[in-house]
Structure 1
Amino acid sequence: MLFAVEVAIALFVRDRFVRPYLGDVLAVVLVYCGLRAVLPLRVLPAAVLAFAIGALIEFGQAVNLLDLIGLRGNPVIAVVLGGSFEWLDFVAYAAGALLALAAERFIHR
């Protein structure tokens, strides 16, 4: 369901908050869920790794990784990896990791 929401945001939302920031928050939660589903990671390491993956993608945007590897024209890769660096995205990634931690805590109570 989270993946479907992410796809809908990527395809249909063109604004200055939901797509750039809420989408990034949810992307980190999605990565966290994927990590926990396929790897034997505990909650905190999975949240930290999900944040780190978001940060690495953001740094890739800062150095124009898509241009360096010749994939700027690929629309799927461009949506997944993003195209422009923004410092505030790190706040969104942190919020996503914290949201995943809070959800885990809520679920296990």
Structure 2
Amino acid sequence: MKFQFNKKYLITALTLFLIELTIAFTLHSGFIRHTFGDYLVVILLYAILRGCTNLGVWTSSLAVLIFAYTVECLQLTPFLTYFNLERSFTAKLIFGSTFEFNDLIAYTLGVITILILETKVLKLETKENAKLWKP
């Protein structure tokens, strides 16, 4: 793995981060807050990883999914207590505080969306652009 910056992914990450902040501070319950936010967060993490490294689509997707699953499974333990963060709003916001199986589904759907976009949609765009520029 080598560090390299990709403006497209970093702009995507910044946009998703601002959306996530808006969701976190304006919505306190419901589908958008609890499920769609989890769906978007894996896409955000993927965009950060791809924006800062030269890792490929599949490696980055798998790394993000494993990370998301790990954080979710940690919620089965009192891990915030180990770090004296059980009362921290920010820690609870970032790491969550209760395990939800539906979150695992949201993470998986987010990664599937990434893979579809990266392998199908963006590849088609690239091929179509190449055809446009050929004499």
* Normalised TM-score (structure 2): 0.76
Superposition misfits of 4+ residues, deviation over 3 angstroms: none
* Residue 72 of structure 1: how far off its partner (Å): 1.4
- Asked whether 1:56 is paired with 2:70, we answer yes
User: Deviations for 1:4-48, whole angstroms, at most 9, x for unmatched residues?
Assistant: 000111111123211111000000000011111112111011111
Number of equivalenced pairs: 109
Q: Which residue of 2 aligns with 1:91?
A: 105
Secondary structure of 1:14 counterpart: coil
Q: Which has the larger radius of gyration?
A: 2
Higher relative contact order (CA 8 A, sep 6+): 1
Structure 1 unaligned spans of 5+? none
Secondary structure of 1:97 counterpart: helix
Task: Select the residue among 63, 74, 77 that pairs with 2:91.
Answer: 77
Task: Select the residue among 51, 63, 67 that pairs with 2:81.
Answer: 67
Instruction: Say what the alpha-carbon RMSD is for the aligned residues.
Output: 1.1
Structure 2 letter corresponding to 1:100: I
- Same amino acid, percent of matched pairs: 28
User: Deviations for 1:77-108, whole angstroms, at most 9, x for unmatched residues?
Assistant: 21011111111111011011111112213123
